[in-house]
Amino acid sequence: MHLLILGRGKTGSLVAEVAQQRHHKTRVLGAADNPNASALRPELLHSIDTVIDFTTPASALANITAVAAAGKNMVVGTTGWYNEMERVRQLVEQHNTGFVYAANFSIGVNLFFDIARAAGAAPVYGYLPQIFERHHVHKKDAPSGTAIALQRIIKETGRVEPEITSFREGEVVGMHEIVMESANDRIYLCHDASSRRGFAEGAVLAAEWLAGKKGFFDFKDIWRDLA
């Protein structure tokens, strides 16, 4: 496959590395190369199979719009644009493209979502849930998309919306904790990422899975198909 990776940050650079190791042809554009999605013209995208976005919330929506208009498939790991979810879904349907997004492309985090779903019933039995998330100081959005996904899972299963507390510290890759406390005991659930490589591998696997497909997909619904 020929992949265009948007974002020269730590995760975007690692996505390019993983893609090359998996024998894909890659091209990378940083923020300076693509202001306001200006580089995403049909002539540049003509030979591209799939675009992978790890940029910023401010850039993602313009990138998505340009890529959809060119009729190209896209994998988006950037968060912070989800208030425009319906607009993006309509763009994907209008241009008949393939699109996969995720709050987190790590297989481990998606397993963690399943664990959270099982534990999410705890508030029904008197437990008070809280979510804590820690990321590096360069992360643009707070709370993280992963923390918001965990909040939504617990709200759906436990009928209560847990508070999210966010920390931005040093070079922390990403830690998410769920604490459920009752009068009798306390439950701790935690996912602690030691490397961004899990995010990068998941994004490339999603791009491979998306080849030849059309539609709007959440990675949490398709990751089991990657094994």
Burial class (CB in 10 A: 0-12, 13-18, 19+), 13: middle
Q: Is 139 a catalytic residue?
A: yes
Q: Is 220 a catalytic residue?
A: no
The catalytically annotated residue of 95, 136, 139, 155 is: 139
Number of continuous H segments (helices) and E segments (strands) in the chain: 8, 10
The catalytically annotated residue of 24, 72, 135, 176 is: 135
132: which residues sit within 8 A by CB, 6+ positions away?
Answer: 164, 165, 167, 175, 176, 177, 179
Is the distance from CB of 169 to CB of 150 less than 8 angstroms? no
189: which residues sit within 8 A by CB, 6+ positions away?
Answer: 112, 115, 116, 119, 177, 178, 179, 180
> What are the catalytic residues?
135, 139
